[in-house]
Amino acid sequence: MDRRFQMPEFSKPHRHNAFLHSDSLGGGLPCRLRRPPPHHRRRPRPRPSPRLFLLVPQKALRPPLLSPHTVVVEEFDGLTSNHMFDAANTYLGTKLSISTRRIKVNKLEKDEEIAVTVDKNQEIVDFFQNVKLTWISQSTSIKQLANKGDSKNSRTELRFFELSFHKKHKDMVLKEYLPYVLQRAKAIKEERKVVRLHTVDYNGTDYWSSVALNHPATFDTMAMDSEAKKELIEDLNRFINRKDYYRRVGKAWKRGYLFYGPPGTGKSSLVAAMANYLKFDVYDLDLREVQCNSDLRRLLIGSANRSIIVIEDIDCNVGVQNRETESEARMVEDDKITLSGLLNFIDGLWSSCGDERIIVFTTNHKDRLDPALLRPGRMDLHIHMSSCTFDGFKTLAFNYLKKEDHTLFEAIKELLATVQATPAEIAGQLMKNDHAEVALQNLITFLQSKKHTMTETD
């Protein structure tokens, strides 16, 4: 082969890009590899400096991530009403804005202002320590099983709040914001406080329904023995100021009172006077409407703190009469409640489900009660509501006639020392005439008539 046309052999390619010189194209000379001129060389790409990435904010590399946390505040915790829900409902009523489309308003006769709360499916925005917090009111409907003897089931609406915030504020919300809501709600309630009377209602979520208690009774208007009145007021004041004491000695923060005496002596009015004095709600528990012991516990749990639970005429209820003296006393299988269930209601484990509660029993016949109800530690103070004394009469005379003294008072004092008349009877006589002289003379005639009747009976 002609060497002019023989290509040169290379053991391996050069690492640089090679090209054929123009002399090899028909020039009759063998081809040879040359380095490309500097302006033809491919320059390596510079590696990006790591500092460039450090200068770029992280938010520019990816979209922002929202990390909300949600706290659910339900209306009930099992069978117990949730104090946090009640506080949030009260507090949020003061945080309504123009964007809140549905609200609920309420005003009782004694209220000075309208109470406003948020309705369901509404959003409330609050700010605390410059942090945005979003509340949403929600509700759900659940099926409630029928009670014994009732063939129809019912549906109950359960309410709850959802509180949303950024996750980094979780500790602040739990440790500072929610305690602040509790504190503010308590202050708001104290400003609006109206005593309410609760009665049993099996259609309610907590078995209670309520109305405003407009009873005008106060300790100043109570026609009762002055020493007994003083003892009761001192005991109440001591009770409400001894929270730490009850906790230290390991006892539930509650107090029990037994009011006993004939009809018309003011037992029910004394309960109202206590409620007005303490600003405690009253729960009127009629045991005849309670279906079983479990319902009794449910009613106890459904009652609020700072309340008076009153069972009137307890001697008329089956199962709590004196089993030692009543010949017909026996355990009846179909009784609605049992004595043991009532005792557990008073001082058992269930009685500790709440604070600052007062339990009051009233009876016309103390001797008919089972001794188990009268043991120490169950009814802490027994108060005898007796016939009207002269001190009680003077209270009534001032209430109805605006008289602190009168020439006829001495004659009335002598008659009351020998004649038994209830405060209700005395008040009835004083109301018959607005003129003090005539009203007092009518009372004297009434008392003389009762004395004459007593003499004939003897």
What are the pLDDT digits (tens) for 386-413? Answer: 999 999 999 999 999 999 999 999 999 9
In whole angstroms, what is the distance from residue 362 CA to residue 258 CA?
A: 6
In whole angstroms, what is the distance from residue 426 CA to residue 398 CA?
A: 13
pLDDT of 15 strictly over 60 = no
Of the candidate ranges 13-27, 94-108, 312-326, 391-405, the one whose mean pLDDT is the lowest: 13-27
Residues in the chain: 458
| Sheet order of strands, 154-166 included | 68-74, 154-166, 131-144, 123-128
3-state SS class at 294: helix
Quick one: average pLDDT of 154-167? 84
pLDDT value of residue 202? 72
pLDDT value of residue 378? 82
Q: Which residue has the tokens 């009268």?
A: 374
In whole angstroms, what is the distance from residue 415 CA to residue 421 CA?
A: 10
pLDDT of 25 strictly over 60 = no
* CA dihedral over 245, 250, 254, 257, signed as positive or negative: negative
Q: Greatest CA separation found in the chain?
A: 169
pLDDT value of residue 345? 76
Quick one: average pLDDT of 119-147? 83
3-state SS class at 115: strand
pLDDT value of residue 20? 43
Quick one: average pLDDT of 32-39? 56
Phi, psi for 113 (deg, rounded to 5): -125, 165
Query: What are 158's strand-pairing partners?
Result: 140
pLDDT of 269 strictly over 50 = yes
User: May I ask the CATH architecture of the domain 211-384?
Assistant: 3-Layer(aba) Sandwich (3.40)
In whole angstroms, what is the distance from residue 131 CA to residue 84 CA?
A: 20
- pLDDT above 70 as % of the chain: 75
Quick one: average pLDDT of 261-274? 95
Of the candidate ranges 22-26, 144-148, 231-235, 270-274, the one whose mean pLDDT is the lowest: 22-26
Of residues 411 and 30, the one with the higher pLDDT is: 411
pLDDT value of residue 51? 44
Of the candidate ranges 101-115, 139-153, 403-417, the one whose mean pLDDT is the lowest: 139-153
pLDDT value of residue 10? 47
Quick one: average pLDDT of 75-98? 85
Quick one: average pLDDT of 275-279? 94
Give strand ranges (E) for 32-130.
68-74, 76-77, 80-81, 103-106, 115-118, 123-128
pLDDT of 30 strictly over 90 = no
pLDDT value of residue 59? 41
* Averaged pLDDT score across all residues of the chain: 80
pLDDT per residue over 285-312, tens digit each? Answer: 988 888 888 888 888 888 888 999 999 9
In whole angstroms, what is the distance from residue 215 CA to residue 222 CA?
A: 12
Q: How far lies 304's CA from each of 74, 82, 139, 284, 430, in Å?
A: 16, 10, 22, 13, 39
pLDDT value of residue 120? 81
3-state SS class at 271: helix
pLDDT per residue over 323-375, tens digit each? Answer: 454 444 444 444 467 777 788 777 777 677 778 999 999 999 999 898 888 88
User: Could you count the other beta carbons within 10 Å of the beta carbon of residue 423?
Assistant: 23
